[in-house]
Structure 1
Amino acid sequence: METRSQLEFSLLSWGANSYGQLGQGHVEDQSVPRLSDTAALQSRVVRTVSGGGGHSVFITGNGEVFVCGQNHRGQLGLGHNADISTLELCPSLNQTVKNVACGWDFTLFLTDCGQVLACGSNAFGQLGVGSSVSHSADLLVVGCLKDPAVSVAAGLRHSLAVTDSGCVYQWGTGLFSHAKRALSPRPVPSHLCSQVPCLVPGVDQKTSHLVAAGSAHCVCLTGDGDLFLWGGNKHGQLATTEPFLSSPSLLKRSLLDGEKVLNVWSGWTHVIAQTESGRVFTWGRGDYGQLGRQASTSQNTKQQSAGPLAEGGNQEVCLPAEVKVLSGATQIACGSEHNLAIVGGCLLSWGWNEHSMCGNGSQTDVFQPQLISGLRPLLIGCGAGHSMAVCAVMTGSR
């Protein structure tokens, strides 16, 4: 009898799992990729995967949302505050969702009509609904955006959005203390201390279309392939020696060999950009291997005179440098301090590995991208300390 192969899909997850964010029905960390419980999906295809401090969000092909993990501030949008260790449909989302951004303990959903919905902690105004709400397990509409949003980003305690007119908005007070220390006695600009969406000045003449956020910094990418960065620079993630930038600053294209940027991602303290030719550059904090390149001894000696970059970084490492093994990557995802990439159909991981989120069975930090063998990844995503991949599995049928 003839045996035929058919393609099936599986969801694998690994790393930190204290709240059930791996969707495996338990709360034990996993040092290598393991199957998640996908019974609730009922053969739906997952097209977006994202994670926060202890929660995970999955968007299906028809725009439905499934969630699991930590829910103490209502960040799963389920109307209650109980943690969930297997995937569960978010029933209150009756709109089609096309993207999601997970902060530490809050979540932003972007619908297909450009509306932004938020849930979880609002202790720092990161939900964009004002100060009267401390947290919400129900989805709240983020107002004050004059046009439909096309991109959203969630940092540790702040949020960003780009509208279809190319304007950038910021809300949440997570950067306020950094700004106050750096700018004193000058006042802190309103976009760094607003609890509702506030227009970010300095990119008015540009058409932005993508935003990314770190723990204390912000990134936006324009349609012209230019990158603008602002916020905290403790680890050189802004590629400058200034300790803090209150408004967007253009990253000189010469730092990327003159190339335009096509995509950008951000961890808590590092940035990854891919240029028009497929090359991948990294900069910012690298002491856990976040940059995918080993710092040399000569670079480390420069740390003594690096000024504001001296704490947790150095001048040389903080400038963009190419990671050649990542050239041509079709997907990249950043956790807080670790990363995943799909290159040539293979899955690579690198960075902080305390909870085995690099998936190699150890807890030793990974300083250069390494292969996670045996997986055929189609889609990847990271939480702060966990990793997820949708993989193709060949099965035999008669």
Structure 2
Amino acid sequence: MEEELPLSCGESGKPVQATLSSLKMVDVGKWPIFSLCSEEELQLIRQACVFGSASNEVLYTTVNNEIFVLGTNCCGCLGLGDVQSTIEPRRLDSLSGKKIACLSYGSGPHIVLATTEGEVFTWGHNAYSQLGNGTTNHGLVPCYISTNLSNKQVIEVACGSYHSLVLTSDGEVFAWGYNNSGQVGSGSTANQPIPRRVTGCLQNKAVVNIACGQMCSMAVVDAGEVYVWGYNGNGQLGLGSSGNQPTPCRVAALQGIHVQRVACGYAHTLVLTDEGQVYAWGANSYGQLGTGNKSNQSYPTPISVEKDRIIEIAACHSTHTSAAKTQGGNVYMWGQCRGQSVTLPHLTRFSCTDDVFACFATPAVTWRLLSVEPDGHLTVAESLKREFDNPDTADLKFLVDGKYIYAHKVLLKIRCEHFRSSLENNEDEIVEMSEFSYPVYRAFLEYLYTDSISLSPEEAIGLLDLATFYRENRLKKLCQQTIKQGICEENAIALLSAAVKYEAQDLEEFCFRFCINHLTVVTQTSGFAEMDHDLLKNFISKASRVGAFKN
């Protein structure tokens, strides 16, 4: 028997791990919920994740880097601040300006999202502390999770039914939430309300991949070993037994086999080796192991797909379905298929594993965060934009605040006079930068690839400093535009001071006019009270000349 879930919110949905894919020609229209979107809205979609017990919720990003949601909104899982369902896409303003690197969701459902900056946000169902914010109150809006993660850059996330995992750039795993079977790896069965590092056998290991089963957890380390913990009633831990495991334990049966990836279904597990071989274990009542029968397996079992090597495996918690893609581009599926049981890998007509879950699985969900390109052609500008911070093609990396930013020397020379001279005879592959902060310097480099910036007004001041230093006049103008959009009574004096300091005359004039138009409130702020003496003197003089102090 496969384990039962505690009931919540009248939902019976199961979790699915969703990680950023690099797909082209994915037709989001194959998922029924997108029939609620207009053709114009569909054309703008660049990332998407369908989730919920009946694939009745969706989150997607657009070409303009805006995030939209729609669906039934169980337990506030759309993050809109309410529990009202919506059949029209609504913008998720609380994450405005954030770019999604990866996300995952659980059964409640709850959402765990990591941004490209490595920040973690959670919202939705929280009866078991699966949001990691220290409470058991449902989260109606995205909450930034900083406890034990504030100095970490999260690069992967995974949700079980009611527990959550994240993987950091330094190979550490943190877990929180429901722990009735030891799935957070703490050694006990007490729920974990905040992120806690998973140690034990992982203490000195560098983890490269994580996944969650319904109530179990998996980690692949850089040496190719697989570590497992949590519920094991169907043998889904691959340890040859059915006893639960409260702390990480290595899958000894894979000794000598180098695993690259792990994927978890409802109650079964798939792994992909560096040789393109798939192994499976766990529940098999729908043939989801691909062994040709419906018998559970508690040891890793090799699965024969075809002679061509496998390059991708896919499974998700909402279904009992498995899929794989070969190097030659063939896509296979097995397990539950529209109510039928397929016990051996079956060749499909699809070109990507995502379509298996859109067309064959029940419910029709996405097993990962889709990245959608409207067609196969990219303009030069789009190609350059996509290559920014890409370690696979970069030949130069900047070390800023302990983090790397990947770039290409030839593009920097073409785009920036400063780099044209500084990189001329520079053979170094790493450049350390201490003069500017990581967000500021990353925004500068990204600007060289995209001709645009995305920063808060406060961070834009730092970028204005950089633009002045590097004599990048167009960038100075963009910074001034950003700062103007964020001005308010509280920060007006600070922005005016920055404009004067960096000789941004247009911005200085704008800030001065704003201060004059809101003079009563501005003069009562702490910024005005702490104003530099010379700046204050000049401000009063100029304000007098325009008649600001006349009755």
Which TM-score applies when normalising by structure 1?
0.74
What is aligned with 1:134? 137
Partner of 2:34: 23
How far, CA to CA, are the matches of 2:362 and 2:144 in structure 1?
A: 25
Q: Is the 8 A contact 1:115 1:149 kept in 2?
A: yes
Q: CA 1:141 to 1:384, structure 2 compared with 1: closer, same or farther past 3 Å?
A: farther
Q: Distance in 1 between matches of 2:340 and 2:81?
A: 38
Q: Give the direction of change, closer, same or farther, for the CA distance of 1:376–1:238 in structure 2 (3 Å limit).
A: closer
Shift of 1:44: 4.0
- How far apart in 2 are the matches of 1:384 and 1:102? 17
Cα 1:160–1:23 change in 2 (3 A) is: same
Contact 1:210 1:222 (8 Å CA) reproduced: yes
Task: Looking at secondary structure, tell me which structure has more strand per residue.
Answer: 1
The letter of the residue matching 1:107 is: I
- The residue that corresponds to 1:168 in the other structure is 173
Aligned to 2:76, what secondary structure does the other structure show?
A: coil
The sequence identity of aligned pairs, in percent, is 25
The answer to whether the 8 A contact 2:209-2:221 is kept is yes
For 1:318-337, what aligned pairs fall within 5 Å after superposition?
318-325=298-305, 328-336=309-317, 337=320
Q: 1:52 to 1:330 in 2, by over 3 A?
A: farther
Instruction: Call closer, same or farther: CA 1:103–1:38 in 2, change over 3 Å.
Output: farther
Cα displacement (A) at 1:13: 3.2
Tell me what 2:119 maps to. Answer: 115
> Corresponding residue for 1:377?
352
Q: Residue deviations 1:189-220, cap 9 Å, x none?
A: 35852111112121111011221101110001
AA of the residue aligned to 2:160: G
Task: Spell out, residue by residue over 1:297-328, the C-alpha distance to the aligned partner (whole angstroms, 9 max, x if none).
Answer: xxx5xxxxxxxxxxxx3xxx221112221763
* Residue 228 in structure 1 maps to residue 245 in structure 2: no
Please show how residues 237-252 of structure 1 align to structure 2 within 5 Å.
237-240=236-239, 241-252=241-252
2:469 alignment partner in structure 1: none
The farther-off stretch of 138-147 and 332-341 is 332-341
d(CA) in 2 for partners of 1:264 and 1:242? 20
**CA distance in structure 2 between the aligned counterparts of 1:364 and 1:143, rounded to whole angstroms:** 44
C-alpha distance in 1 between matches for 2:190 and 2:249: 15
Deviations 1:166-206 (A, max 9, x none): 22111002x32x359xxxxxxx7358521111121211110
Query: Which structure would you say has the larger Rg?
Result: 2
Structure 1 unmatched ranges of 5 or more: 1-6, 26-35, 181-187, 301-312, 357-362
Amino acid at match of 1:349: M
Aligned partners of 2:128 and 2:177 also within 8 Å: yes
Question: AA paired with 2:249?
Answer: S
Match of 2:332 in 1: 348
Letter matched to residue 342 of structure 1: K
Report the secondary structure of 2:249's partner residue: strand
Shift of 1:384: 7.2
Q: Secondary structure at the match of 2:193?
A: coil
The 1:162–1:89 alpha-carbon spacing in structure 2 relative to 1, beyond 3 Å, is same
Residue 101 (structure 1) aligns with: 104
Using the alignment, how far apart are the partners of 1:63 and 1:394 within structure 2?
Answer: 18
Partner of 2:344: 368
User: Could you report, residue by residue, the CA deviation over 1:283-308 in whole angstroms, capped at 9, with x for unpaired residues?
Assistant: 11111121122237xxx5xxxxxxxx
Q: Distance in 2 between matches of 1:80 and 1:345?
A: 43
Partners of 2:281 and 2:300 within 8 A in 1: yes
Q: Distance in 2 between matches of 1:197 and 1:390?
A: 28
- What is the Cα-based RMSD across aligned positions, in Å? 3.2
- 1:309 is aligned to none
Return the letter of the residue paired with 1:213: C
Q: CA deviation at 1:391?
A: 8.7
Please give the alpha-carbon distance, in whole angstroms, between the structure 2 residues aligned to 1:322 and 1:75: 38
Count, aligned residues:
333
The 5 Å alignment of 1:41-80 reads: 41-46=42-47, 49=49, 51-53=51-53, 54=55, 55-58=57-60, 64-80=66-82
Distance 2:94 2:50 in 1: 19
Instruction: Give 1 or 2: higher helix fraction.
Output: 2
Task: Work out which of the residue numbers 272, 276, 279 in structure 2 matches 1:278.
Answer: 276
Residue aligned with 1:42, SS: helix
Q: Secondary structure at the match of 2:41?
A: helix
Provide the rounded CA distance (Å) in 2 between the counterparts of 1:149 and 1:390. 19
2:128 corresponds in structure 1 to: 124
The aligned amino acid for 2:324 is A
In structure 2, the gaps of 5 or more residues are 1-23, 377-551
Q: Does 2:126 match 1:144?
A: no
Cα 1:352/1:37, change in 2 over 3 Å: farther
Deviations 1:206-259 (A, max 9, x none): 01122110111000111221110000100001112151111000112xx34722
Q: CA deviation at 1:85?
A: 4.7
Kindly indicate whether the alpha-carbon contact (under 8 Å) linking 1:283 and 1:291 is maintained by their aligned counterparts in 2.
Answer: yes
Report if aligned partners of 1:129, 1:195 keep a CA contact under 8 Å in 2: yes
Question: In the aligned structure 1, how far is the partner of 2:26 from the partner of 2:166?
Answer: 32
Q: Provide the rounded CA distance (Å) in 2 between the counterparts of 1:69 and 1:292.
A: 34
> Distance in 1 between the 2:343 and 2:265 partners?
15
Match of 1:338 in 2: 321
One-letter amino acid of the counterpart of residue 260, structure 2? L
Do 1:191 and 1:200's aligned partners in 2 also have CA atoms closer than 8 Å? Answer: no
Q: Which moved more, 1:335-344 or 1:154-163?
A: 335-344
Match of 1:166, SS state, is: coil
Alpha carbons 1:264, 1:274 under 8 Å: kept: yes
Q: How does 1:82-97 map to 2 (within 5 A)?
A: 82-85=84-87, 89-94=91-96, 95-97=98-100
Cα separation, 1, equivalents of 2:309 and 2:70: 32
CA 1:197–1:59: 2 relative to 1, 3 Å: same
Contact 2:46 2:372 in 1 (8 A): no
C-alpha separation between the residues in 2 aligned to 1:193 and 1:346? 42
